[in-house]
Structure 1
Amino acid sequence: MDQPDLVATAGLPNPPVVGEPPPGRVALAARIRELVEAALLADDDAVDLLAAAARVGAVTASLRPGARDTAALFAPLAGGGRLSVNNPVEGVGNPLAPPLVWHRTGADSVLAECVFSVAHEGPPGRVHGGWVAAVLDHAVGRAVASAGSPGMTASLTVDYHAGTPYGVPLHVEGRLVRRDGRRLSAAAELRAGDQVTATATAVLVLFRGVAPARRQE
């Protein structure tokens, strides 16, 4: 297993891996995202929400037979490493995720795009700060993994420079800044067009079982 894979499969000795995200799972997650948005915007006086709830309940019951023991599922990621299909931030199979679409996973930095929806709203018209932090955290984790030093976040400092809009393409970039033994320093930024809406600095700790890389200044 490549070192970048450890960021996705830590703690799973034999993780389930598929050649690509299952189309049915991807489609179902997309429809559920649409359902969540429609439910949030539904006019209580214009539609029968109790009837809708019953129909959703029936679909949920139809999905329960044969449930797996874990939601973990991985697929190859262009540029190396593995995509966590059901991850709540990058997972195309997880309805909670925006999700992240990776455009670059390089030697020391990564770049992804995402589109948040009204389901992620905090202040009116803006993404909740917790979701902004989650995307930045994921970017630094993916960046250190791509650099061959996968680790877990020990601390994350987020600076919010402007409200992050939803419903438009956003770009998140993460990069490894420095390695010092098992201590990793990384940074990330989130952009809406040319405007940086949030930045983050992070300290990560190299996963156990991974040899520390040569010190990088």
Structure 2
Amino acid sequence: MFLSDEIRHPASLDEKIVYSADLKLSKANVRYASADARTTGEVLGQALSGFSFLATPPSGSFKMSVLLQISHSTSSPFKGPYLACQTDNEGRVFSIVYGQELPGSPLLPFVTDDGELHHLEFTLNDYLCDLVKHRLSCRDPSGSSRQLNFPDEALNFTNWHVQGIYIGFEVNDTDLRAGTSTPGKVGAIEMGMQIANPKLIHQNGQPYDSSSCHR
């Protein structure tokens, strides 16, 4: 379940953009059918906010869309970045899904919370900065994998804009791995979230220094 909205005046990421919200998990219950289901990560509950970024440089040399996912709480034992990429045959149109927990970013425990809402705040530019440092492994329409660096124009944050936002949670209780010995349901997830005061603020006149973002 997600709440979503498009941004009427897309904001350029060469200036600081801050996202904040007050939230808590009103319900967070997870059950595993086996010890293996606990360790594989196939049973997952996650509260998150997502943002769509778009890069269309003046040269028209490429078009790149990014779905950024910021986790607020997760039942998964696995931490670290998630990066998936698809491209066309010419390597000019990119579609990327990216998730990361940056150092110092707030992450709530996956437990039912009977207390007050927690104020969370994130600078979206920091996530783009981390993303462009990665080398891309992108699949083309034939299924082949290409190893690519971000184009030089993608390192110019003036070419990037925030297009939309969504807030919600995702759950999975089924082992979908190819060749798994435990197909079907391997657990159960119950989740609820309360959220208030979501804000996305484009801080005009506050340039974001992206000089440290280059590989």
- Normalised by the length of structure 2, the TM-score is 0.26
Higher relative contact order (CA 8 A, sep 6+): 2
Greater strand fraction, Structure 1 or Structure 2: 2
- Normalised by the length of structure 1, the TM-score is 0.26
Greater helix fraction, Structure 1 or Structure 2: 1
